[in-house]
Chains A and B, each alone.
Chain A
Amino acid sequence: MSRSMLLGSLFAAAGALTPAFAQDASVTVVLAEEPDLVEPCMATRSNIGRIVLGNISETLTELDVRGGEGLKPRLAESWELVDDGTWRFHLRQGVTFSDGSAFDAEDVKHSFERAGSDQITCEISRYYEGIEITPTVVDAHTIDFTAEPAQPILPLLLSLLTIVPSETPIEFTREPVGTGPYVMTDWTPGQSITLERRGDYWGEQPEVARATYVFRADPSVRAAMVAAGEADIAPSISAIDATTDMDVAYPNSETTYLRIDHSVPPLNDKRVREALNLAIDRDAFIGTVLAAGTEIAVAIVPPTTLGWNGDIEPWGYDPERAKALLAEAKADGVPVDAEILLVGRTANFPGATETFEAIQSMLSEVGFNVRLQMVEVAEHEQYYSKPYVQTQPILVGAQHDNSRGDPVFSMYFKYHSEGRQSGIADARVDELIEAATAATGEKREALWRELFAYLHDEVIADVLLFHMVGHARVGERVDFTPTIATNSQLQLAEIGLK
């Protein structure tokens, strides 16, 4: 009783004092996890990219995710192919870093070399793996990139390379310097990160003068913070909380699927893989276990990606046909009764456990012998990447994120016979991936289209499930529409104030 009296009086006292909320041109963004580093070369990691990309650091080129303009200039004003393997970039002039130094071609060269250094593990470098890229400074504002083998999408690859001054030491920095419209002015670990607008930014001044990022692991608390006016934007809240008119659903560029290792029977039989696909009632998930707005996937990349093939018919729900296929395979001696392990990752997405449980029961209903195992991220990784566990047939439930506009960021890893997470080894698939990777323009698009159809209809490479949606809560003070890229970047310049 003394407790309730004590608290009661404290609350009454607190009522007299209203917390000071963000005012004027400041916004507060509440994110799920604090980045371990605010390191420009790690900006392809989403929790870092959301703060760094386009705010602190800029790239030579930039993919337009709002309109349909494709690849746009940012720090490079233009670029052209000089010869087969060499791209020339003309850099913007009059740009300065937040430390006052001027931006030139040497900075670009250093940024590229630093990202690829073997003294640190910058994430960006993985996108350049297997390609020998040499930057050559032509003059202060012109730089050539020569790639071996030739890279038709080199300008797109450079949309991932954040530019740091040439004085930046190789080791990870805790004080990022960039050419972007904002500079990091405070980082209190465990609590908040603050960015402030620079007066000397080369481009248009954004409306938001100051942004504070805070971190709350619980989605209900993130939603509550916007509701209470403590935060303006919560880019990711749970679907269960997304019930107010402040909440927006948006495609979050994640695709859920079951990866099949084709080398272990009975999954090496195409009829069995077709039966897996036909046994799952995908429609039943949408608006129930998964949020309304979730789309059925026919490819591992979302529909906004180059070469996405709208002609592919999703697998319908046909348990009778699935049973017939299994019976047929069984008659031919395929061990369809073998126990199949379905591996899911706990908290991979909201409703993950329920989703995999439902899939297990749907598969069992047509006669599969499926055991479900939900594991945490590190254990999941042991199933997901090569060398594979092959003690029994295994389906790995996973999510893949590609908001970068081109399938090249996915297809090699997921489907090439050498890919670290590929379940297949198909000569035609390898050929198509290699040809599409090297092609440009309409030819590239056509090759990707062909590959998607071939994988889905002929190889039946995997069980593609859903393109997922995320939910954001946006407070009344600000004007912001999340996009497919919001998962990986959140440019403050795109936020308006009411």
Chain B
Amino acid sequence: MKSMLGKRALSSFVSLFVLIVLVFFLSRLTGDPAALYLPVDASEEMRHNFREIHGLNDPLMVQFGRYMADLARLDFGDSLRKARPALDVVLEAFIWTLWLALVTMALVAVAAIVVGSIAAFHVGRPFDRFASVLSLIGASAPDFWVAIVGIVIFAVNLGWLPTSGTGTVWHWILPIAVLFIRPFGLILQVVRGAMITALGSAYVKTARAKGVRNRPIIFVHTLRNAMLPVITVIGDQAAALLNGAVVVETIFGFPGVGKLMIDSILQRDFNVILASIMVTAIAIFIMNILIDIAYALLDPRIRA
């Protein structure tokens, strides 16, 4: 298992380097930040001066060399717009995204596994039908719409929750509820499918024949076998959340990394783009390694 993790870390590191090179050059192809930072009627002299201050007049290779040299000292450069270290800006936002993703995925995983297992156990019965319809509706509802409707109902009309923002635990409920819906629907379907297959297998019949009751059959025998595909999908969905929930962050004024990334791309704030991509990439690599470990724990065949 150690050698597997070592290989994983090495390939992650190579991917990260390729990512940095690609993003560095591609983002610089998209346009001149001076044109966006300065007012439209600024003179060429002001523009030149701006580029000079921020080292944008140098050849691209020189800029890249300087960036990598700074990076080796863990200096991610300053944000062009905010005039402070890009890494500070990104980490500040990433913490919010990380919490949002963790809480949402924890709730989703528990809810989807429980509901999915019960549905699989009662295939074709009303509970199963109801769960399926609900999850399909959830998986196909556009999140911006759900978010706005949620605000209108629960904040404006009922006055139970704050519309948006951060501050109290109440502020987290609507964003998490909106983020919950889609992965819940998806993971529930995967759990249900995997469980139906597992429940139909020979060892379940044997267990039943021995008189084992329903609860242990679900939670001891079948769930562990059905978990492998489920973990893959959970990882996939968690990665999407770690990249930032742009729509939810924008609507709820949640200071996460998704909106930061979009804003920094629109403003050509190169150092923030690069820092946020690196931070989220590293988080996703770490998560993938955790998933590999989970696989290994669940399935002895992988541990080799």
Contacts and interface: CB of A to CB of B under 8 A. Distances in A.
B36 A381 contact: yes
Nearest to B92: A189
B166 interface: yes
A221 B43 contact: no
Contacts of B39: 44-45, 123, 126
B46 A121 contact: yes
A6 B103 CA distance: 14
B253 A214 contact: yes
A14 B160 contact: yes
Contacts of A230: 155, 162-163, 165
Interface string B98-121: 000000000100010011000000
A18 B162 CA distance: 9
A2 B163 contact: no
Given A1-B115, A227-B156, A126 B46 contact: yes
B162 A129 contact: no
Interface string B21-41: 000000000110001111111
Contacts of A384: 40
A201 interface: no
A379 B31 contact: yes
A7 B250 CA distance: 22
B10 interface: no
B161 A11 contact: yes
A215 B161 CA distance: 18
A420 B156 CA distance: 47
B160 A225 contact: no
Contacts of B107: 6
B43 A126 contact: yes
A388 to B, nearest CB: 13
Contacts of B49: 118, 121
Nearest to B165: A214
A224 B255 contact: no
Contacts of B177: 7
Interface in B206-259: 250-253, 255, 259
A413 B41 contact: yes
Given A2-B111, A3-B184, A121-B53, A228 B159 contact: yes
B43 A15 contact: no
Contacts of A191: 165-166, 253, 255
Contacts of B154: 11
Contact of B35 (A118, A129, A378): A378
A10 B134 CA distance: 20
B173 interface: yes
Contacts of A37: 81-83
A385 interface: yes
Contact of A1 (B130, B159, B162, B253): B130
Given A172-B83, A191-B165, A376-B266, A123 B38 contact: yes
A189 B82 CA distance: 10
B42 interface: yes
B93 interface: yes
Contact of A228 (B50, B134, B155, B251): B155
A224 B151 contact: yes
Contact of B36 (A17, A126, A377): A377
B184 A190 contact: no
A2 B115 contact: yes
Contacts of A221: 148, 151, 163-164, 251-253
Nearest to A15: B160
A126 B259 contact: no
Interface string A350-390: 00000000000000000000000000111101101100000
Contacts of A126: 38-39, 41-43, 46
B268 A224 contact: no
B158 interface: yes
B186 interface: no
Interface in B43-79: 43, 46, 49-50, 53, 79
A378 B83 contact: no
Interface in A196-225: 214-218, 220-221, 224-225
B92 A218 contact: no
B162 A11 contact: no
Nearest to A379: B31
A174 interface: yes
Contacts of B79: 36
B123 interface: no
A220 B148 contact: yes
A213 B275 CA distance: 27
Interface string B9-26: 000000000000000000
A7 to B, nearest CB: 6
A67 interface: no
B205 interface: no
B274 interface: no
A221 B252 CA distance: 8
B170 interface: yes
B261 to A, nearest CB: 13
B297 interface: no
B168 A19 contact: yes
A119 interface: yes
A216 B253 contact: yes
A128 to B, nearest CB: 11
Given A121-B50, A224-B152, A19 B250 contact: no
B131 interface: yes
Nearest to B108: A3
A37 B269 CA distance: 14
B287 interface: no
A59 interface: no
A228 B253 contact: no
Contact of A385 (B30, B40, B93): B40
Nearest to B256: A190
A96 B243 CA distance: 47
Interface in A106-133: 118-121, 123, 125-126, 129
B180 interface: yes
B268 A121 contact: no
- Most chain B CB inside 10 Å of its own CB: which residue of A1, A121, A123, A379: A121
A37 B89 CA distance: 13
B84 interface: yes
B168 A378 contact: no
A421 interface: yes
Contacts of B30: 378
A10 B160 CA distance: 10
A328 to B, nearest CB: 36
12 contacts: A2-B111, A11-B173, A14-B173, A44-B39, A126-B43, A189-B255, A191-B253, A216-B251, A228-B159, A381-B40, A385-B35, A420-B42
Among all A-B residue pairs, the 10 with the closest Cβ atoms: A190-B255, A36-B81, A413-B41, A216-B253, A172-B83, A378-B31, A36-B82, A14-B160, A15-B160, A381-B35
Given A121-B49, A378-B30, 9 more contacts: A2-B111, A11-B160, A37-B83, A121-B46, A191-B165, A221-B252, A224-B155, A224-B164, A382-B31
Interface of A: 1-3, 6-7, 10-11, 14-15, 17-19, 36-37, 44-45, 118-121, 123, 125-126, 129, 171-172, 174, 189-191, 214-218, 220-221, 224-225, 227-228, 230, 376-379, 381-382, 384-385, 413, 419-421
